[in-house]
Amino acid sequence: MRRERFFAALRMTVWASAMIALASCSVKEDRTDCPCWLTVRASYPNEAVSAWYGTHMLFDGLMGQQVDRQVPRGSVEVLASCGSFTVHVGEQMDELFASIVRVDTQGETAEIIPKLNKQFARVHLEFKESDEGRVEHTLVVEGNVKGADKRTLQPVTGPFRCTPTASSGRGYEVNVPRQKDDSLVLRQYDEDGVEFSPIPIGQIIRKAGFDWTQESLGDVSIIADIPESTFLITITDWDGVSMTVKI
């Protein structure tokens, strides 16, 4: 207990010293302990920027083509994002692009232009035997991930439930967050609310080789042949390279 209190007090002392340095430096003094002037240039419209020094948030959700702030010397983590992190029940995942960059702020100035990574996957669903790849009954996609953590970008556990939208071509489309398990499932209900056999799209996507750990996620197309109980899956990565497998 005493050891934990000691280190907690030490961290607070380091933080307080850094904050004092932000307000006390002048050009006539030794600037070794003075703050660093951090510039973050946006690569997307409506980009938001947040930053942390250790576990302490320096600023949150600043917007603009360029963000300039004084930060402590050392190392600062910057989160740049465009889009919503949390998915509400009944909605699809927003088209979230985001990245976390660790910035060396030991000098007097530092500048970065974060490269935002795609944090969602667009899943195309099509029924081979049906007109326009669609069916008459109700479809619902469910899962156990409700978005991305704003501090780490890791998947956040929570209920995900939405209705796929008709695509401009055949079938349906649904945006899903980065996954950490195979929980995604496509449920089908008739007009009386009776459920047909669910389709375990999370398992199907995994068996096809989709990688949920990629920095920028790709997209998936699933063509279901229900009479034959087979699925044709096409995975297209962020660079546009496609691979098709049959399960």
Instruction: Render pLDDT for 151-166 as a digit per residue (tens, 0 to 9).
Output: 999 999 999 999 999 9
How would residue 131 be classed by pLDDT, with cut points 50, 70 and 90? confident
How would residue 94 be classed by pLDDT, with cut points 50, 70 and 90? very high
- Edge to edge, the sheet with strand 75-82 lists 56-63, 48-53, 75-82, 97-104, 117-118
Mean pLDDT over the full length of the chain? 90
Q: What pLDDT does 33 receive?
A: 72
The domain ranges of the chain are 2-112, 120-246
The 10s digit of each residue's pLDDT in 98-126 is 999 999 999 999 999 999 999 999 999 99
- Which long-range contacts (C-beta less than 8 Å, at least 24 apart) are formed by 225-232? 225/128, 225/129, 226/127, 226/128, 226/129, 227/129, 231/204, 232/128
Q: What pLDDT does 18 receive?
A: 46
How many CB atoms sit inside 10 A of residue 95's CB? 13
Rounded Cα gap, residues 73 and 75, in angstroms: 7
How would residue 25 be classed by pLDDT, with cut points 50, 70 and 90? low
Are the beta carbons of 175 and 205 closer than 8 angstroms?
no
Residue linked to tokens 């063509």: 223
How many CB atoms sit inside 10 A of residue 134's CB? 17
CB-count exposure of residue 46 (10 Å: 0-12, 13-18, 19+): exposed
Q: Is the pLDDT of residue 193 over 70?
A: yes
Mean predicted confidence (pLDDT) in 58-78: 96
Mean predicted confidence (pLDDT) in 56-64: 95
What the block records as the tokens of 100 is 């976390």
How many CB atoms sit inside 10 A of residue 222's CB? 22
Closest CA to 161 of 181, 148, 149, 176: 176
Domain 120-246 CATH assignment equals 3.40.140: no
How would residue 27 be classed by pLDDT, with cut points 50, 70 and 90? low
What the block records as the tokens of 194 is 């009776």
Within 55-200, strands assigned E span: 56-63, 66-71, 75-82, 97-104, 109-112, 117-118, 120-127, 138-148, 155-162, 165-166, 172-177, 185-189
DSSP code of 133?
A: G
Q: What pLDDT does 30 receive?
A: 53
Closest CA to 52 of 35, 75, 83, 23: 75
